Amino acid sequence: MPGFYEGDPFFTGEITLSPKDLAKASLLAQRQKKPASRPWVRGGMLLTASLLFLAVIPYYQAVYNEFWFPLALCLLFLLLAVGAWAVLPRLEEEEEIRRFSTDGFRLEPARVCLYRDSFTLENAFQRFTENWVDFQNCYESREYFIVTGGKNYRLLVLPKAQLSQKQQEEAAFGLQQQFAFRYKKV
């Protein structure tokens, strides 16, 4: 019982994370925290700029008797919108995968125990004890439970594929109890 409160953990599990798991979880958490970094938001803003330049073409033609400049800007922003929607997320994920591939300790098999006020994570080289009060948000997606914040272990990721149905229910219930309105299903 690493925490202040007595009692057994409400969740115990063995997990092994891959760089792709960490990359997807990290990007999901970032995009939840900063909506402007979401692909569809960026793409939408650029598409809006493209439509604005398209709308300016008749006025520009009336004043300058040609329309190539706003048309070029319209096409440029349209291309950027397609890039922000389709290409940039893939590049971001690849960059995150490269970053997490360098951290061998995060990829070690680990045993995670979630308690009422804290959690422990232990692998062959490290042991962390973190209190929930140091974490900001908790997200549940189709693939992961993600907890962001912390002092030493900053991103807790529980892949649902490695948990049984019972473990998933235990984790979901316990984390909802801890994070309340900061628990979000995405």
Long-range contacts of the stretch 51-60 (C-beta < 8 A, 24+) = 53/77
By the rule CB under 8 A, 168 interacts with other proteins: no
When the beta carbons of 63 and 125 are compared against other proteins, the nearer one is 125
When the beta carbons of 149 and 174 are compared against other proteins, the nearer one is 149
CB atoms within 10 A of CB 17: 21
Beta-bridged to residue 120, according to DSSP, are 113, 129
By the rule CB under 8 A, 145 interacts with other proteins: no
By the rule CB under 8 A, 152 interacts with other proteins: yes
Annotate each residue in 104-123 with x if it binds other proteins (CB under 8 A) or - if it does not, as one string: xxx---------------x-
CA distance 67 to 149: 51
Q: What does each C-alpha distance from 46 to 12, 33, 151 come to in angstroms?
A: 45, 21, 37
| H/E segment holding residue 13 | strand 11-15
When the beta carbons of 99 and 185 are compared against other proteins, the nearer one is 99
By the rule CB under 8 A, 130 interacts with other proteins: yes
**99, 109, 173, 185: residue in contact with other proteins (rule CB under 8 A):** 99
By the rule CB under 8 A, 128 interacts with other proteins: yes
**20, 33, 34, 127: residue in contact with other proteins (rule CB under 8 A):** 127
65-102 core/surface letters (b: 16 or more CB in 10 A; e: else) = eebeebbebbeebbebbeebbeebbeebeeebbeebee
Annotate each residue in 26-55 with x if it binds other proteins (CB under 8 A) or - if it does not, as one string: ------------------------------
Provide the greatest CA pair distance for the chain. Answer: 79
Beta-bridged to residue 138, according to DSSP, are 147, 183
Least separation in angstroms between CB 113 and other proteins: 12
Window contacting other proteins (CB under 8 A); options: 9-17, 53-61, 72-80, 103-111: 103-111
Interface residue list for other proteins (CB under 8 A) = 99-100, 102-106, 122, 125-131, 151-153
